[in-house]
Amino acid sequence: MHNSTFIPSSVNQKFGKIIYKRPKFEKFEKEFFSLQKGFDNATSFEEQNSYFEKIYLLRDQFDTMYNFAAIKSDANTADKYYQTEINYFNNILPQVEQLISNFYQSLINASFKKQIEEKWGKHIFSLAINKSKQFHPSIMAELTQENLLKTKYTRLIGSINFEFNNENHNLKSIDSYIESPDRTTRQKANHAKWNALNEVKDQLDNTFGDLVAVRHKMATKLGYKNFTELGYIKMDRINYDKSMVSSFRDQLLKYFGPIAEDLAERHKNRLGYNKLYNIDKSFHFNTGNPVPKFSPIEILNKGQKMYDELSPETSAFFNNMMENELLDVINRPNKSMSSYCTEISQYRQPFIFASFNSTSQDIKILTHEAGHAFQYYCGKNKEITEYRWPSYEAAEVHSMSMEYLTYPWMHSFFEEDAEKYFFSHISNCVLSMLSKCVGDHFQETIYDNPELSPDERASVWRELEKKYLPFKAYLDNPYLESGRLWQVYWHMYNFPFYFIDYALAQICAMQIWQRNIVDPKSAWNDYMNLCSAGGTLPFLEMIKSGNLQSPFEANCVANIAKNVSDYIGKIDDSKF
């Protein structure tokens, strides 16, 4: 157990007790204008700061209703009431963004900017400047269209249901069959899943094509060459650029590519196959994959015990999550397939959304999303919205590090299969980083060339798979062979360029993992520093607060790759 004097105060607001009320935009706009006018005309720092804080309180009230409606609409994509509410928000969010953009301009030009900077730090001004580069009233219609298209994708992917083994399945529930020890069952389950997607591939292609077009139009209206430039700004990548990311991808391919190929060869040998296909990707051991031995409710209860033992901070955090119904992890028909952590802003509470499916992913998701939620919990008392969450790649450091910090408790979920889980988890992390290179490089190519046809986009994906994952082979699957695996990735549609962030974060999280083996106390202190920083620092400065080396620094990727190679080289996976 780790000891610390910092335990955030508890907030008690059950999710089920929150009363939803659609925020009227006209009223919100009037109040926002009034507060911003007071901010602009303030004659003292105290007065200006008071308006500053009131603006953020107003934003919290609005965000609470929006996030609540979003969670409810994801919980049931067939719920007409909350789908109507999300449509309402889709139409007004660009106007809200305009209000916030105007406030950022007021902040940049504030009369008492020096005193605000002394109280709230410099980063809010860096963010304000960056936000001002991504909005103009001329793109209001495009922002609305983008929101509607993202919702269209979420509903479509969440509504996919199909029959298999005399049961009704969605894209999550089928995974238990896709991990079956029987290869024929895996092949049939894969066929059922990808055939269901193949039936809507044209709709998915067209929706993505429309998103590419509207994003390119926004970018050019704002004066950018293409959406790639705008996308980096929207991701708040303040202290690194496209060329650095390209170099990072090259480093991953150079140093982790051989490890991935070795793992694929070992995988094939373990299963005793002449060739490994996509149907074998999710099945790792002839004795069966490591799966949690318990129901979703039991997993949550064991998670509560785990976090009680990990530290006083995590104990207070997870008990608050359980007591206030801040986790929705039960899989259901028409439930969105996404896994995420969001916030109930007004009550300063994180919320975890996922769909457990009786695979090891349930535990990975539990620890991963809890990492996000814990970071938010550590910074929930920060008045500034932007400071409660860091940028995306920084946020993934917290979540991925939590996966490693909870390794000592994996026996309670997997019992005798815990060692299997460690090996498969690390193996998947290696393969995932290269997959994220595919996704990032794909988006860069697509947004640099928005005129590509659906089939040309698919060809780009398949060629990039061959570059970063040359050992990947598909067995009689026209959908995947055509290059459309990316259609199942929620981020691809809803969060463009949110891909390489996972690989950047993984290199950082692996440093926490290695440190935790040697000196758990030091690793925990570094992790708490990362969580406490929240969104007050840009990515490269944030990781310094946790004594981590930048993934962009010379030899960083090479050194981590050697550590991983040494670790998996000592494991006799044939015994599994």
Least confident range of 1-10, 237-246, 284-293? 1-10
Helix (H), strand (E), coil (C) string for 239-282: CCCHHHHHHHHHHHHHHHHHHHHHHHHHHHHHHCCCCCCHHHCC
Rounded-to-integer distance, Cα 399 and Cα 406, Å: 11
Rounded-to-integer distance, Cα 540 and Cα 241, Å: 12
Rounded-to-integer distance, Cα 570 and Cα 521, Å: 25
Q: Counting runs of H as helices and runs of E as strands, what totals does the chain give?
A: 25, 5
Q: Where are the beta strands (DSSP E) in 437-482?
A: none
10 Å CB burial of residue 575 (0-12, 13-18, 19+) is exposed
- The pLDDT score that the predictor gives to residue 11 is 54
Nearest to 131 by CA among 99, 104, 92: 104
- Cβ-contact 241, 539 below 8 angstroms: no
Backbone angles phi, psi at 353, to 5 degrees: -120, 130
Structure tokens at 426: 């690390």
DSSP H or E stretch at residue 458: helix 454-468
Set out the domains of the chain in order of their start, with CATH numbers: 8-291+415-576 (1.10.1370.30)
- Cβ-contact 447, 216 below 8 angstroms: yes
Nearest to 510 by CA among 429, 451, 391: 429
Rounded-to-integer distance, Cα 393 and Cα 401, Å: 12
pLDDT surpasses 90 at 476: no
- Cβ-contact 337, 171 below 8 angstroms: yes
pLDDT surpasses 70 at 252: yes
- The pLDDT score that the predictor gives to residue 340 is 96
- The pLDDT score that the predictor gives to residue 247 is 98
pLDDT surpasses 70 at 10: no
Rounded-to-integer distance, Cα 485 and Cα 491, Å: 13
- Cβ-contact 119, 99 below 8 angstroms: no
pLDDT surpasses 60 at 499: yes
- The pLDDT score that the predictor gives to residue 1 is 54
What's the pLDDT tens digit per position in 167-207?
A: 999 998 999 899 999 999 999 999 999 999 999 999 999 99
Neighbours of 414 (CB within 10 A): 21
- The pLDDT score that the predictor gives to residue 354 is 96
> If pLDDT is split at 50, 70 and 90, which confidence band does 31 have?
very high
Nearest to 144 by CA among 250, 236, 54, 218: 218
Backbone angles phi, psi at 379, to 5 degrees: -110, 15
Structure tokens at 22: 């659609």
pLDDT surpasses 90 at 511: yes
> If pLDDT is split at 50, 70 and 90, which confidence band does 263 have?
very high
- The pLDDT score that the predictor gives to residue 150 is 96
What pTM was computed for the model? 0.93
Mean local confidence (pLDDT), 361-373: 97
* Sign of the CA dihedral running 517, 397, 318, 389: positive
Angle, to 10 degrees, between the axis of helix 500-518 and the axis of helix 392-405?
A: 40
What's the pLDDT tens digit per position in 46-73?
A: 999 999 999 999 999 999 999 999 999 9
Q: Is 311 left (phi over 0), alpha (psi -120 to 50) or beta?
A: beta
Residue 198 is which amino acid?
A: N
Rounded-to-integer distance, Cα 561 and Cα 543, Å: 19
What's the pLDDT tens digit per position in 106-146?
A: 999 999 999 999 999 999 999 999 999 999 999 999 999 99
Mean local confidence (pLDDT), 310-326: 97
The mean pLDDT value of the chain amounts to 95
- Cβ-contact 400, 367 below 8 angstroms: no
- The pLDDT score that the predictor gives to residue 5 is 38
Rounded-to-integer distance, Cα 429 and Cα 435, Å: 10
> CA angle 367-415-264, nearest 5°?
70
Q: Which residue has the higher pLDDT, 438 or 5?
A: 438
- Cβ-contact 439, 457 below 8 angstroms: no
- The pLDDT score that the predictor gives to residue 482 is 95
The secondary structure of 327-380 as a DSSP string is EE----TT-----EEEEEGGGTEEEEE----SSTHHHHHHHHHHHHHHHHHHTT
- Cβ-contact 427, 284 below 8 angstroms: yes
